[in-house]
Structures are given as C-alpha cells and as structure tokens.
C-alpha cells in the first residue's frame, strides 16, 4: 500500500515542480528577445535600431493591434521602405480605448481605406526626434503643426517635459516613450489612437 502512495506523492511533486519551471523559460525568452532587460511595459525593448518600423512593430509585444492594422491596411511595405518616417505608435492599451464596434469595423476589408487613413495620420515624413519636436513647438510659439502622410495636420504641444498630440478631430495622446530608433526612422510610443477628420 505504501508503494502507490509514494508514487502518487512523487508524481504530484514532479508535476508541481514542472509548473514552477514553465514560468522561468517564458521570462528568460521575453528578456532574451530584447537587447536590454527593461520593465514589461516598455515594449520598445523588442525593437532593434537595425530593423524597419514594420518589422519592429510586429516584434513588439505591446503593438500587436497596430501591427495587425498595418498589415490589414496594406501599409507593411511602405513602413518597410527607406523612409525616413516618424511614427506615433499607439499601444494595444490605446487601441483598447476605442469602442470594440469601431475597432472591429476598421478591420473589415470594406474599411481598408478608412483604416489606412487612420494609420497614415500617425506617420509624419522625415525623422523627427523628441528634441526636433520640442524645437518645432518652441519655434511655433507653443505648438507645431505636423503634416502627416494623409495630408492632415497633427498639433504637437508640450506639458512640462511631455509631448502632447492633438488630432484634427480633437482627441489627444501623450508620448509615453520617445526616440525609439529604427533603420528607416523613429517611433514615439503614444497612449491613444489619433483620429483624423473623416
């Protein structure tokens, strides 16, 4: 009778020890894929300066919604091109703020042009670092109008050290992480999806 009890206890111990070990490789893998070990919220750790914007968005764990939208809108090739581009990249948490009906609507094939317009509103031709943006804001007397690739203006202002963006439709986003280098430009992570005039 003791033998089955010992085997059962050994199996349970093995199963429990296996459960604890599955977490460690996941954490190691997550850290190993980035160049530096940073806090989990800092998705740009997955972005490499030697890769294109499109490739880095696909690799970023916090930009899955944006990467899927770029693919759906047919903009992957553009964001893999020479550029340079400045991209204001909303996180998955930023996309989660958009009502699900609207988000799902954008991803329908019939709405490809609408989705492309929204995404192009997050892209400015040329490479503008945070210092460049701050200088433009100062030159503009407290605000700078950035011409996006969709042709509409995006207004940049400062609140202390933070760069704030106001869309043509009036919604706002803050740059939460600036100057994430790319081989074809720069990415600034933002906390909201910017909506152009439709």
Both 99 and 154 in a single domain?
yes
- Asked whether residue 59 is domain-assigned, the answer is yes
The verdict on residue 197 lying in a domain is no
195 in a domain, yes or no?
no
Give me the domain span that covers residue 16: 1-33
Do 154 and 89 sit in the same domain of this protein? Answer: yes
Number of domains in the chain: 2
The CATH number of the domain holding residue 104 is: 2.30.180.10
Is residue 79 located within the same domain as residue 167? Answer: yes
- The tens digit of pLDDT for each residue in 42-57 reads 345 567 777 788 888 8
25 in the same domain as 115: no
65 lies in the same domain as 147: yes
Please report whether residue 196 resides in a domain. Answer: no
What average pLDDT does the segment 25-51 reach?
A: 41
Q: Are residues 29 and 92 in the same domain?
A: no
Closest CA to 65 of 192, 188, 169, 198: 192
Residues 20 and 56 in one domain: no
**Is residue 116 domain-shared with residue 168, that is, in the same domain?**
yes
Angle between helices 64-72 and 112-120 (to 10 degrees): 120
pLDDT at 53: 85
Is there a single domain that holds both residue 132 and residue 106? yes
Residues 66 and 99 in one domain: yes
Write down the pTM of the prediction.
0.75
What is the C-alpha R_g of the chain? 22
The HSE-up count of residue 31 (CA atoms within 13 Å, CB side) is 9
Residue 140: inside a domain, yes or no?
A: yes
Say if 119 falls within a structural domain.
Answer: yes
Residue 117 placed within a domain: yes
Q: For the segment 94-107, what is each residue's pLDDT rounded down to a tens digit?
A: 999 988 888 888 98
Closest-CA residue to 178 (of 121, 127, 136): 127
Judged by DSSP in three states, 162 sits in strand
Residue 66 exposure: Cα atoms within 13 Å on the Cβ side: 33
Q: Is residue 159 part of a domain?
A: yes
Alpha-carbon span 123 to 49, nearest angstrom: 18
Q: Note whether 6 and 71 are same-domain residues.
A: no
Q: Report the pLDDT value the prediction gives residue 85, as an integer from 0 to 100.
A: 92
- When pLDDT is cut at 50, 70 and 90, the band that residue 180 belongs to is confident
Check whether residue 141 and residue 165 sit in a common domain. Answer: yes
């Amino acid at each position: 009778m003791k033998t089955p009890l010992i085997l059962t206890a050994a199996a349970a111990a093995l199963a429990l020890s296996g459960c604890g070990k599955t977490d460690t490789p996941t954490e190691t893998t997550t850290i190993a894929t980035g160049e530096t070990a940073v806090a989990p919220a800092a998705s740009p750790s997955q972005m490499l300066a030697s890769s294109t914007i499109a490739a880095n968005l696909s690799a970023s764990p916090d930009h899955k919604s944006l990467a899927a939208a770029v693919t759906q809108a047919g903009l992957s090739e553009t964001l893999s091109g020479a550029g340079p581009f400045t991209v204001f990249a909303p996180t998955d948490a930023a996309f989660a703020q958009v009502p699900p009906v609207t988000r799902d609507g954008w991803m329908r094939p019939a709405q490809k042009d609408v989705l492309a317009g929204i995404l192009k509103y997050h892209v400015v031709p040329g490479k503008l670092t945070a210092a460049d943006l701050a200088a433009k804001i100062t030159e503009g007397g407290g605000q700078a109008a950035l011409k996006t690739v969709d042709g509409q203006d995006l207004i940049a202002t400062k609140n202390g050290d933070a760069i704030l963006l106001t869309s043509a439709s009036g919604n706002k986003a803050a740059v939460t992480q600036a100057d994430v280098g790319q081989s074809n430009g720069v990415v600034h992570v933002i906390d909201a999806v910017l909506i152009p005039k439709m």
